[in-house]
Chain A
Amino acid sequence: MTTAGSEFGSGLREIMPLAAGVVIYGLAFGVLAAQATMGGLETGAMGTFVFAGAAQIVSVERLVAGAGAFAALVAGVALNLRLILVTASIRHFFIGRPWWQIMLVAHFSTDENWAMTMAARKAGRDVGYWHLVGGGTGLFFAWVGSTIIGVLFASAIPEPRALGIDFAFTAAFILIARTLWQGRRDLAPWGTSVAVVGIALWSDWLDPSWALILGGVSGAVIAGVFGDD
């Protein structure tokens, strides 16, 4: 048996390499938030209460691109729906815990600390709730801190578009797509997604934000109906 404190500490230590990667995304998000004329307070509030990197990046990028706030929100929430699967897979950690501990770890559950704790358990270590919370705490401060630092520095850049910074997020999304690609089984869903966006935009049927939501959902439906486990 490990005590809660030592389990928390080892989770916090072991997340550090992943938290360093999160800082890079956080600084990049800050640059984007500045383009949406967000300040330190708004950026800090978003990081604190949302705490989901990719969804924050996508939805704020949509705002900057001139989408309505509602379309930006739907895109962000859609990107986070699979967190249901993340917390469902670790729900046995929470049985019998007080409600505030359940709320805390629910908010702190991300792909990074989930993967860390799962890997530790696979290696035979008796870790669970507090290991996950320790990792989540490290990620939380890395994310909120780096996004605020990013937005404060980026607000000083005078003309982002003239410097090509508007393209930085297309480049970032290309890299994120690379990390999400899981091999050939993604080919049909991703192909469907691109084709639907292409048709929707080319025919002027939907504005870009709704086109991307329709494309993403269409691709996911193809994965659900025709994929195999």
Chain B
Amino acid sequence: MTDVWFLIFGLAVGTFAARLGGILIGQRLPQGGGWARALNALPGTLIIALVAGQLMQGGPDEWIAGALAAATAFATRSLVLTMIVGIAAVYLLRLI
């Protein structure tokens, strides 16, 4: 099995299990409290960890482009504009 099909199969099973799990054991899940807070926080902490790791592995070109993309994200909240600014910035910086 290739990596891609392994990933498709694994993600499909894991994701469906999470969705069905909420329905089947939802009654026994705490609606507030620490567990709910941790689960709610997890997407944000994973994404920011990913960004941090990617920028650490890059150099000054990526740091500057990352800062410009972050400024665009805050100003516009637009995915398209943020990606365009990020791509254009890193392209130009790598040319220099």
Residues of A within 8 A of B (CB): 21, 24-25, 28, 36-38, 42, 45-46, 49-52, 54-56, 58-61, 63, 65, 68-69, 72-73, 75-89, 91, 94, 102-103, 106-107, 109, 163-165, 167-168, 170-182, 186, 189-190, 192-194, 196-198, 201-202, 208, 211-213, 215-221, 223-225, 227, 229
Interface of B toward A, CB cutoff 8 Å: 3-8, 10-12, 14-16, 18-23, 25-27, 29, 31-58, 62, 65-66, 69-70, 73-74, 77-80, 82-83, 85-91, 94
Chain A's interface: helix, strand, loop or mixed, by majority?
A: helix
Q: Let me know if A103 and B7 touch, CB within 8 A.
A: no
**Bound-state Cα–Cα, A202 to B52, Å:** 12
When the two chains form their complex, are residues A87 and B26 in contact, meaning their CB atoms are under 8 A apart?
A: yes
Q: Which of A88, A167, A202, A229 has its CB near the most chain B CB atoms (within 10 A)? A: A167
Given contacts A69-B6, A73-B10, contact A194 B40 (CB under 8 A): no
Chain B residues with Cβ under 8 A from A37's Cβ? Answer: 4
Q: Pick the contact of B11 from A73, A216, A225 — CB < 8 Å? A: A73
Query: In the complex, are the beta carbons of A69 and B3 less than 8 A apart?
Result: yes
A24: contacting residue among B40, B54, B79, CB under 8 A:
B79
| B52 x A198 contact (CB < 8 A) | yes
Number of cross-chain contacts by CB at 8 Å:
294
Known: A172-B79, A189-B45, A215-B52. A77 touches B11 (CB 8 A): yes
Is the CB–CB distance between B18 and A196 below 8 Å? no
* Alpha-carbon gap, A87 to B69, bound state (A): 34
Across the two chains, which residue of chain B brings its CB closest to A75? Answer: B46
In this complex, which of B40, B41, B42, B83 has the most chain A Cβ atoms within 10 angstroms of its Cβ?
A: B41
- Known contacts A50-B8, A82-B40, A174-B51; 16 further A-B pairs (Cβ under 8 A): A45-B8, A54-B47, A55-B11, A61-B50, A72-B3, A84-B39, A85-B29, A86-B22, A87-B21, A89-B26, A164-B88, A168-B86, A171-B73, A171-B85, A202-B56, A219-B49
